[in-house]
């Protein structure tokens, strides 16, 4: 279990154990005991009760797949959504619950999602005055991350249902991964058409829903909670060095190409030479950070996912798999395929996988 201070070590991202608790409730709701999962993934009641505890996204994905195998319920993400409460999103959920309208509530929840989750590849956001909510998932898709998409979209939908006091709140749902044969079950749960193989993950609220008054509206409490959320975000970011900020911007841009110093400088609102000077003051450089970022991400992709080596090469911005293979041997003195094989064998011995 990782603490908040360890967040930067989780290259692909991490989430609060609040979501692990929801998953455990879903397993119980499906009629299965959670003891075996808790032991297998080295979880306990104390760690789940820690407000700062985090779990890496890849580990959460493996936990979810194990829960699906245990319960036999491939749509366990929908069960998680049914059991989600505003408080399960932490202070951001409480701030959203106290907003004036359903649209403002959903926008607040997602605006402060960094307080409970960090996806290094991208961030969720809302559009059209809170009517649409978009979820950025780690790609490429496989059986390990389908349920993450399901659980997030279902939790957002359940959040709006709780806020508005209405059941029929969503007009359309889009999901990036292809259909797995559960279309009817998804449409029954969301109460609207669900399109699989779409260009993005998201929900679109019915036209009148964003304006509906919140059942928990309280302006004074909302203002106080917003201040707390803003303070918490500042605390997360205030310890970031210039190098940290560069790495944070590099990760989502490493897809088939290497972002330039000029691109990163522009996103940071500075000039290339100023950025070079700031990095030099921190005893590093742009090329060093690109290499370190790739190395850290490569470690997580090899150890924590089943992503193919060709896909990893593309995700890390290498021109081709051969270039990735060469860099990996330089970093670790072993090929990525052999490294993955060794790691899986070690995990089997330990009984973790």
Interval 5-23: pLDDT, tens: 333 455 677 889 999 999 9
Cα gap 73→317, rounded to integer Å: 36
Q: Is the pLDDT score of 101 beyond 90?
A: yes
Neighbouring C-alpha atoms within 13 Å toward the C-beta of 61: 25
Q: Is the pLDDT score of 33 beyond 50?
A: yes
Q: What is the mean pLDDT of residues 300-316?
A: 85
Highest mean pLDDT among 33-47, 54-68, 141-155, 156-170: 156-170
CB 290 within 8 A of CB 327: no
Instruction: Identify the CA nearest to 314 among candidates 257, 256, 259.
Output: 256
Neighbouring C-alpha atoms within 13 Å toward the C-beta of 85: 7
Q: What pLDDT shows up at residue 302?
A: 86
Q: Is the pLDDT score of 216 beyond 90?
A: yes
Per DSSP, which regions of the chain are E strands? Answer: 13-16, 54-56, 117-119, 125-127, 132-135, 170-175, 194-196, 201-205
Residues in the chain: 353
Task: Kindly state the DSSP code that residue 307 receives in the 8-state scheme.
Answer: -
End-to-end CA, the chain? 17
Backbone angles phi, psi at 257, to 5 degrees: -160, 165
Q: Above pLDDT 70, what percent of the chain?
A: 92
Q: Is the pLDDT score of 191 beyond 50?
A: yes
Q: Is the pLDDT score of 199 beyond 80?
A: yes
What six digits make up the tokens of 148?
């993450």
Q: What pLDDT shows up at residue 263?
A: 92
Cα gap 136→204, rounded to integer Å: 15
Q: Which CATH superfamily is domain 240-350 in?
A: Homeodomain-like (1.10.10.60)
Where exactly are the structural domains of the chain?
A: 4-236, 240-350
Strand 170-175 to strand 201-205: parallel, antiparallel, or no bridges (unpaired)? antiparallel
Q: What is the mean pLDDT of residues 289-305?
A: 86
Instruction: Identify the CA nearest to 201 among candidates 214, 212, 184, 186.
Output: 186
């Amino acid at each position: 279990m990782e603490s908040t201070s360890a967040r930067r070590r989780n290259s692909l991202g991490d989430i609060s154990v609040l979501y692990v608790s929801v998953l455990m409730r879903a397993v119980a709701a499906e009629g299965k005991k959670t003891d075996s999962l808790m032991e297998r993934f080295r979880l306990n009641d104390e760690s789940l009760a820690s407000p700062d505890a985090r779990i890496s996204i890849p580990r959460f994905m493996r936990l979810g797949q194990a829960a699906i195998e245990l319960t036999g319920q491939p749509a366990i993400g929908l069960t998680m959504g049914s059991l989600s409460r505003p408080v399960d999103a932490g202070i951001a959920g409480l701030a959203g619950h106290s907003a004036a309208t359903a649209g403002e509530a959903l926008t607040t929840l997602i605006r402060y999602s960094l307080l409970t989750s960090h996806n290094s590849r991208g961030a969720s956001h809302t559009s059209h005055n809170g009517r649409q909510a978009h979820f950025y998932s780690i790609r490429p898709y496989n059986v390990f991350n389908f349920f993450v998409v399901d659980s997030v979209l279902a939790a957002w939908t359940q959040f709006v249902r709780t806020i508005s006091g209405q059941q029929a709140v969503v007009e359309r749902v889009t999901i990036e991964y292809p259909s797995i044969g559960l279309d009817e079950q998804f449409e029954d749960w969301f109460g609207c058409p669900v399109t699989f193989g779409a260009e993005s993950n998201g929900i679109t609220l019915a036209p009148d829903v964003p304006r509906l008054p919140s059942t928990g509206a309280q302006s004074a409490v909302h203002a106080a909670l917003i201040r707390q959320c803003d303070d918490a975000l500042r605390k997360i970011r205030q310890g970031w060095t210039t190098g940290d900020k560069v790495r944070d911007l590099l990760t989502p841009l490493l897809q088939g190409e290497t972002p330039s110093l000029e691109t990163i400088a522009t996103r940071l609102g500075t000039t290339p030479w100023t950025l070079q000077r700031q990095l030099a003051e921190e005893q590093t450089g742009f090329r060093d950070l690109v290499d370190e970022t790739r190395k850290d991400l490569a470690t997580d992709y090899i150890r924590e996912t089943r992503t193919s080596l060709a896909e990893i090469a593309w995700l890390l911005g290498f021109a081709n798999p051969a270039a990735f293979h060469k860099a990996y041997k330089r970093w670790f003195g072993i090929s990525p395929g052999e490294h993955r094989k060794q790691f899986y064998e070690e995990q089997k011995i330990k009984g973790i996988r």
